[in-house]
Amino acid sequence: MSHPHPELGAPPALKEGALRITPLGGLGEIGRNMTVFEYGDRILIVDCGVLFPEDEQPGVDLILPDFTYIRDRLDKVDGIVLTHGHEDHIGAVPYLLRENPDIPLIGSKLTLALIEAKLAEHRIRPYVLEVAEGDRERIGPFDCEFIAVNHSIPDALAVAVRTPAGMVVATGDFKMDQLPLDGRLTDLPTFAKLAEEGMDLLLVDSTNAEVPGFIPHERDISAALRNVFANAERRIIVASFASHVHRIQQVLDAAHEYKRKVAFVGRSMVRNMGIARDLGYLKVPGNLIVDVKQLDDLPDKEVVLICTGSQGEPMAALSRMANRDHQIRIVEGDTVVLASSLIPGNENAVYRVINGLTRWGAKVVHKGNAKVHVSGHASAGELLYFFNICKPRNLMPVHGEWRHLRAAADLGVLTGVPRNRVVIAEDGVCVDLEGGVARIVGKVQAGYVYVDGSSVGDITEASLKDRRILGEEGFISVFVVVDSTNGKIVGGPTIQARGSGIDDSAFVPVAAKLQEALDRSASDGVLEIRQVQQLVRRTIGKWVADNYRRRPMIVPVVVEV
């Protein structure tokens, strides 16, 4: 079983006739999915998504893949294949197309509609090629065949990429629901045909590889939703991903049955559901949808709100409702349904929202106390079945944290994939397919690129460390005026603390110590500003650590006169 090593260096030049696969995101994490295929001097990209920040990344809006590896070769990119319309697969496309808007986008009807709406906000109009299951398109030297897969959004596709080096199949996100709401099954017969042709490398969704058995059917949620509707006393507020058309369809059906009106809340929810409705993926009974402004005219027991925020995102509608920072006020007797799973890393944020909603009197229904969610990813039983159909010669688990990748790899070995043909990689690791064998050949830069407001890539790990210190320990500013000729203090020191839990008056003893230290330093001929600042920082820092066991950020300001 191959695996990356910290000593991996830059990859060698790609050999003639070989295919290189380099994931720039999506391995060791849930999100930021992006895989680069290289043959000759041409490039094909599969997916280009974002990762959402966690608590230790304060102030960050989104996390992008690092485009450094391909930035100076964007003119060699023949296209970006988008497997489906979730943010973790399409969210970074606008940022890549800012650098080269001429790269074609290839995807299904709904996927392209969702990304085009997003790109319109960035004033980018790309060339798009709409494909459907069964289609086969030549994209540069890459012969791409598209296969229907079932997921938690309509129109998801896997892609088989053929080159003279062999065939690579990327599943995208998928599961094997045998009773999907739209009747669109994962196309196992086509995967079997690809196996007969010879599947040289399989990149497989690993998110649920640790979950035993088979994922329940999406339609099984219907009974739980109807139970919520039957027992709700006042308003029902459903939080879901803004792209989960099948889930929202079931909410609409239940609302229609129980004679409630529905309003969509949140820009992305309104936009995406409008697109899904216009394209026929969302079936809306007449007069069911109302504008949120009309809700005040309706009795609470006739209202359903569908909003974003199921992952505890700070600026999403549900989080703002929980914080009393939204026009919709939670009141005693409201029912809130979190119709989604917990993405790893979001647990604390979600429970914070649940507690906030409960505080205001809402009854919160979630996966932990009702069957209001099923996953969109194949579990262990489905993966075993899938591997036995595909019979891959080489296997590379993708889309998952380390534990998921390892679990998928083990399942592959159980079904007969030789252990030395299973590649466990991480972001930035280059895998070459040559002579029917996939092997790791090197590693390229693939770190996090942070989006903070309009800033892209300006925030560094050092910046985040400073933010964490400020958030957890506060800061202390020290203002000193010194004589530029002799280094003696002529003003201050003035010491102020913010967020450190230390009252300004407590600094009187250390101010005297600091003055003594600065006087001694001046007598020793230390006049350089940077050295004086370091002395201030050390003196204050040691005093705070000794007396308060805290390590705030200390900002010394030394002015020469």
HSE-CB for 274 with a 13 A CA cutoff:
12
HSE-CB for 141 with a 13 A CA cutoff:
17
261: three-class secondary structure by DSSP: strand
Of 428, 458, 445, 341, the C-alpha closest to 26 is 428
Q: Residues 6 or more apart from 103 whose CB is under 8 A from it? A: 45, 74, 77, 79, 80, 96, 97, 126
**399 annotated among ligand-binding-site residues:** no
**377 annotated among ligand-binding-site residues:** yes
What is the phi-psi region of residue 383: left when phi exceeds 0, alpha when psi lies from -120 to 50, beta otherwise?
A: alpha
Count the neighbouring beta carbons within 10 Å of the beta carbon of residue 362.
22
Of 268, 249, 3, the C-alpha closest to 118 is 268
**501 annotated among ligand-binding-site residues:** no
Q: Alpha-carbon distance 479 to 495, whole Å?
A: 6
Structure letter (DSSP) for residue 66:
P
Of 172, 206, 171, the C-alpha closest to 400 is 206
Q: Residues 6 or more apart from 533 whose CB is under 8 A from it? A: 556, 558
Q: Any idea which residue has 């009702």 for tokens?
A: 370
Q: Residues 6 or more apart from 391 whose CB is under 8 A from it? A: 195, 199, 416
Q: In 3-state terms, the chain is what percent helix, strand and coil (to 5)? A: 35, 25, 40
Count the neighbouring beta carbons within 10 Å of the beta carbon of residue 117.
14
Binding residues: 373-377
Binding residues for substrate: 373-377
